[in-house]
Amino acid sequence: MELRVEVDTKSGFCYGVVRAIKEAEVFLDGNEKLYSLGSIVHNNTELSRLRKRGMEVVTHKDIEQLKNSVIFIRAHGEPPSSYEIAARNNLKLIDCTCPVVLKLQERIKDSYTKLRRVNGQLLIFGKQGHAEVNGLVGQVEGDAIIIENIQDLIKVDFTRPISIFSQTTKDPQEYKEICDMIREKVVMAGGLLDNFKSHNTICGQVSSRHPHLKEFSKKHSVILFVTGKESSNGKILYECCKTANPRSYSIESTDEIHREWFMDGDSVGVCGATSTPMWLLEDVAHFLTDKL
């Protein structure tokens, strides 16, 4: 079967993940073991590679028992409680919180301080239980309303001041729709629009991928989107591809590729999430050209 294959050069790890993995590898070059608080990326293939090098994923419950060890803080960030446990248990930290997430944490703390003075509400547009969202909510001791979709707006009092921030990896269009709906509900409730503040906190690297992937998907017959099944960002970006090209398939590795997806002469685009390594995208491309 003859296929023309293109790897999307703008896919692959975002800056925060690249930085985190590089720091982990530097440490593992000279040490046998590194405990990562949560998975460094939501990609099982990359996690397997790092596990072989000595990275062990641990939970928040685990670090309460660990002492005198080295703990890796991934790009997603952590709530203050994790740092308190680390200090109490003499755990040395390699803190690779993404600078974009770190700045967002600070902005949320600052906004919360102001909101408390006026009986306001802090909203976070994100996935309940997501590592980054847990870190953001932890900055305000849990006093925030998590909005996953428009239905969650039932939790909000639109007569009171509102400030909303977004998880850095969310869909910009969906965030805009949420903010537009809040404005409508504020007006309907007789509130003041001046009391509603929306903050553009989606990572620029992430938001720029949406229009790019739409164009990339349209120019190929078939799209293979490579992502870990647990990746929130992967689910969002895959839907972006699927909308633009119905012949889009989400895979985690070459084992999930089916020959019947393709026809002779197809142009195949290979792309992925911000948690997908470029080497894996290239492996998929080589599989298509050499083994299919």
Annotated domain spans of the chain: 4-12+207-290, 15-98, 100-202
pLDDT band for 1, please (50, 70, 90 cuts). confident
pLDDT digits (tens, 9 = 90+) for 249-290: 999 999 999 999 999 999 999 999 999 999 999 999 999 999
Domain at 100-202: CATH architecture = 3-Layer(aba) Sandwich (3.40)
Please state, in angstroms and rounded to a whole number, the distance separating the CA atoms of residues 278 and 13.
Answer: 7
Q: From the CB of residue 88, how many other CB atoms can be counted at a distance below 10 Å?
A: 11
pLDDT-based confidence at residue 292 (cuts at 50, 70, 90): confident
Q: What is the pTM of this model?
A: 0.89
Question: Could you check whether 4-12+207-290 and 100-202 share the same CATH topology?
Answer: yes
Q: Which CATH number fits domain 15-98: 3.40.50.11270, 3.40.50.300, 3.40.50.1980, 1.10.287.130?
A: 3.40.50.11270
What is the CATH code of the structural domain delimited by 4-12+207-290?
A: 3.40.1010.20
Residues designated as active site = 132
* Residue 90 pLDDT > 90: yes
